[in-house]
Structure formats: C-alpha cells, structure tokens
Amino acid sequence: MNYEIAKNYVESLIFSSLEPLNKKDLKKMLSEYGDFDLDKILDELKMDYKDRGILLDSADNRFFFKTSNSLKDFLSIQTKKVKNLSGAAVETLAIISYHQPVTRAEIEKIRGKPVFRGTLDSLLELKWIKPSGRRETPGRPVTWITDYEFLKHFGLTSIKDLPKVDELESIIL
C-alpha cells in the first residue's frame, strides 16, 4: 500500500465509522498495511477539508467528519430533538466535568443536595457522561467522567478546553 492509498484508507475508515475513531484504533488498522505516519495523514486530511463543506474534527483524540461551521446558517434540521436539562442535571454535569473522576457521593457533597437516578440517566442517555471505574473505597462507588459526546456537543477538543474557574467567575460577576 502506498502513502496515498493509506491516506484514502484512513479517510474512509473515519467517514464510514458509526462512532468517532481514536488514534490507537486507526494506527492498529493502518499498521496491517505498512508503517505510515498517522499524525501526518490526519494533518493532511484536516488541511484537505478545511475549506470544504465538511471538515475533519476531533474530540478527546477521536476523529470524525462534521459539517463546516460556515454552512450552519444554510442548513436546517427537519426534526429537532429538544431535551431541556433540569437545573440539577446542569449542576451535576458541571461538577462531573470539573471534578472528574467523581462519585455520586462527592457530587452530592459539592451540590449540597442529593443526586437522583434520573439526573444521571438523562446525562447517560445523551452520552455526555460515562462510568469510569470504581473508587477503591468501602462500597466501591462508581466514578463518573464526561464522554466524547459532551466534548463534541460543546465544541471542545479536550476537557482542558473548558474555561477555568476564575474565567467563569469574571463572567458571572
């Protein structure tokens, strides 16, 4: 397999995947056909698509194609699924995103209120949070972290792109 075919292969893998693909999986699939510089291929694909109707994007080191932001005013979605999050869900999501990995008890301690099962269920359904293992403490509680759909929805490349607490305080005050 030559370089151009390898690049086309990576492009087709990302395009046809139901879920965003991470570098590890892409590298593994590509390695079956030779030793190629995956970072170079991804950078070239980003450049190839930067001025087009779709672009190659990433969140949490997972790669996917999405519609270019420059076309958002021309596109309309025929059916919009609107789901309003409760205040409790928004607070819970904020706590998880800034304190991850965090347990339910830790969320409740920070909020000063209980976290109901439906709150976590609605965030799980949106794929904005996911379980991340268990804490090595009595009861072995589940820890929660944000999922890549959270990053994708809010246009973040990684969780490090969230505004810092002092930045938020300056906006609120």
Same domain, 100 and 159: yes
Residue 132 lies in a domain: yes
Mean pLDDT over 59-82 rounds to 78
pLDDT (tens digit, 9 = 90+) per residue, 54-69?
999 998 889 999 988 8
Mark which of 71, 102, 118 sits at the end of a domain: 71
Cβ-count burial 63-98 (b if 16+ within 10 Å, e if not): bbeeeeeeeeeeeeeeeeeeeeeeebbebbbebbbb
Residue with the larger pLDDT of the pair 173 and 72:
72
Residue with the larger pLDDT of the pair 169 and 4:
4
The answer to whether 55 and 46 have CB atoms below 8 angstroms apart is yes
Mean pLDDT over 12-32 rounds to 91
> Could you give the CA distance from residue 130 to residue 26 in angstroms, rounded to a whole number?
23
> Could you give the CA distance from residue 135 to residue 93 in angstroms, rounded to a whole number?
19
Residue 9 lies in a domain: yes
pLDDT (tens digit, 9 = 90+) per residue, 132-168?
999 999 999 999 999 988 998 888 888 888 888 777 7
Same domain, 159 and 91: yes
pTM attached to this predicted model: 0.61
State the angle between helix axes of 87-99 and 104-111 in degrees (0 to 180), rounded to the nearest 10: 110
CATH number at 109 reads 1.10.10.10
Residue 111 belongs to domain spanning = 87-164
Mark which of 22, 43, 71 sits at the end of a domain: 71
Map residue 151 onto helix, strand or coil.
helix
Mark which of 38, 71, 104 sits at the end of a domain: 71
Same domain, 156 and 93: yes
Q: What is the mean pLDDT of the chain?
A: 88
Task: Give residue 172's pLDDT band: very low, low, confident or very high (50, 70, 90).
Answer: low
Total residue count of the chain as it appears in this document = 173
Per-residue pLDDT for 73 more than 80? no
pLDDT (tens digit, 9 = 90+) per residue, 101-135?
999 999 999 999 999 888 999 999 999 999 999 99
Least confident of 35-44, 101-110, 164-173: 164-173
Total domains in the fold of the chain:
2
Residue 43 lies in a domain: yes
Per-residue pLDDT for 45 more than 70? yes
Residue 159 lies in a domain: yes
Residue 172 lies in a domain: no
